[in-house]
Amino acid sequence: MIFSLLIYASQNSGQAEQTALRFSRSALSQGHKIHRVFFYGETVSAISNLKITPRDEIDITRQWLELAASDNLDLVVCIAAAVRRGVLDQQECDRHNRVAANLVAGFNLSGLGQLADAILSSDRLLTFGN
């Protein structure tokens, strides 16, 4: 089965993103495919190079990157939600005349068209958030 995930809860507001990560690992280990992980809303704030995770907490952004590297996941961040929260890649940084890009490498900014494509290309879209 092919899944896509929509995550829109803040890392600080509950377990939604950790649950999505655990689901992804489990699904992949059972032979399923994750077509795309789409980060929307408050969750994009955590995908910034300026965010520092304390040593005694889980760095879920790093864990997504590790899973993406090992299983070729497409990690997409909603561009409107990211720009609204000051999370920029180099192209958006230049476009908005900002000093520095801060989107974590390995994540890609894109629009809702990528979410629509994920829905059409997957057997199921699972949402994580409240």
Both tokens of 100, joined, read 């520095």
To the query of whether residue 78 is one of the catalytic residues in this protein, the response is yes
Identified catalytic residue from 6, 47, 73, 78:
78
d(CA 16, CA 7): 8
Residue indicated by tokens 């969750």: 43
d(CA 34, CA 87): 24
Using DSSP's 3-state secondary structure scheme, residue 51 falls into coil
Residue indicated by tokens 């005694």: 56
Q: Among all residues, which ones are annotated catalytic?
A: 78
